[in-house]
Amino acid sequence: MILILRLPSIPFVEISQEATNYKYLNFLPACPLRTMHLGSSFSLSSTRTAYFRARCRRTPPPLPAFSGSHHAPQQTPYIFTSALNPTPTYTTTTILTRSYSSTTKPSSTIPSAAASEADHFDWRKMAELNREHLKKDHKKVFEHNRAWAAHQTTQDPDFFTKLSAGQSPEYLWIGCSDSRIPAEQITGMSPGEAFVHRNIANLVCNTDLNVMSVINYAVRHLQVKHIVICGHYGCGGVKAAMTPKDMGLLNPWLRNIRDVYRLHEEELDGIPDGPERYDRLVELNVVEQCRNIVKTAAIQQSYARNGFPIVHGWVFGFNDGLLKDLEVDFESMLRKVQKIYDLSESHEH
């Protein structure tokens, strides 16, 4: 397997191994880590710059010949230790199209050796092969795009003429950034039917100018009829918020979810099953984000004048691919909210 690190003074550092060679490599002690070109399964124990020592049980193998776009997965562990996490950890990750897993092993003592053992390896050749592979993957996106455009034109010769004339979506969709939940695909909506905004854990924060701008434009200018807050079971953002751990830059964002837990602490603490409590927090988070939308002037004023938009709370399930309607009572929620957060025009007059 191959681990690529970008360091301040070295273009690429690669730690590789093969099953039959048990020489040891002690590489780059106390070198500041800047950026990691790794799969999502690999991470340090802190988001801060770390000083680390990477060690490998085996010397680098020759580069494989990349003859195709897919490579068979291999379970090949290596050892990584850092000053923030001194216990050696057997970790695997994703490089190119290969998929690996992570498993912690007991600590072991590894003899050190000179970094010159890896001098024969051609780092530049490795980097070039990675660049060529990524270019091929990138080209596939354009190939798929051309195929999609041709299909749409075949089905409806005027499709792109109508699409370029403007948009008048019925829905504003506020969902999670999770790559597995594309709004149009799971709902069967076509281009032009949904105005979409996504962020981590589908939050609606009044200090987030991004989501506030989206809501304002969708309601006041596009005049959407429905606003959907869509969460999903198994949400990583919600799970992170339930973890008593410093998440660095994510702390202010996750605090919004932790506030949801605080508001519903009695109910959530009464659920003994961990996964069930986790799922319930996902649902409660969706409901609270619906309430945050109802607090905005754009929604209150548009509903007073036009009778729309209506706010909905949904949750997507990966286990069956179905959407669950939480049946948010929009009108009742609006009445309760306006006791304190009344921003409707009728109130002003």
Nearest in space to 81 (alpha carbons), one of 33, 20, 11, 12: 33
Annotated ligand binding at 178? The verdict is yes
Annotated ligand binding at 312? The verdict is no
Is residue 25 within 8 A of residue 115, CB to CB? The reply is yes
Q: Which sign does the torsion angle of CA 298, 303, 309, 312 carry?
A: positive
Amino acid identity of 180?
A: R
Cα angle, residue 109 at apex, residues 105 and 112 outer, rounded to 5°:
125
Annotated ligand binding at 56? The verdict is no
3-state secondary structure of 175: strand
Give me the active site residues, please: 176, 178, 180, 232, 235
Alpha-carbon span 225 to 222, nearest angstrom:
9
Q: Which parts of the chain are beta strand (E)?
A: 2-6, 13-16, 25-32, 35-37, 51-56, 78-82, 89-91, 171-176, 194-199, 226-232, 310-316, 323-325
Q: Which H or E run includes 277?
A: helix 274-294
Alpha-carbon span 226 to 223, nearest angstrom:
9
Annotated ligand binding at 205? The verdict is no
Q: Which residues are annotated as a binding site for Zn(2+)?
A: 176, 178, 232, 235
Q: Which residues carry a binding-site annotation?
A: 176, 178, 232, 235
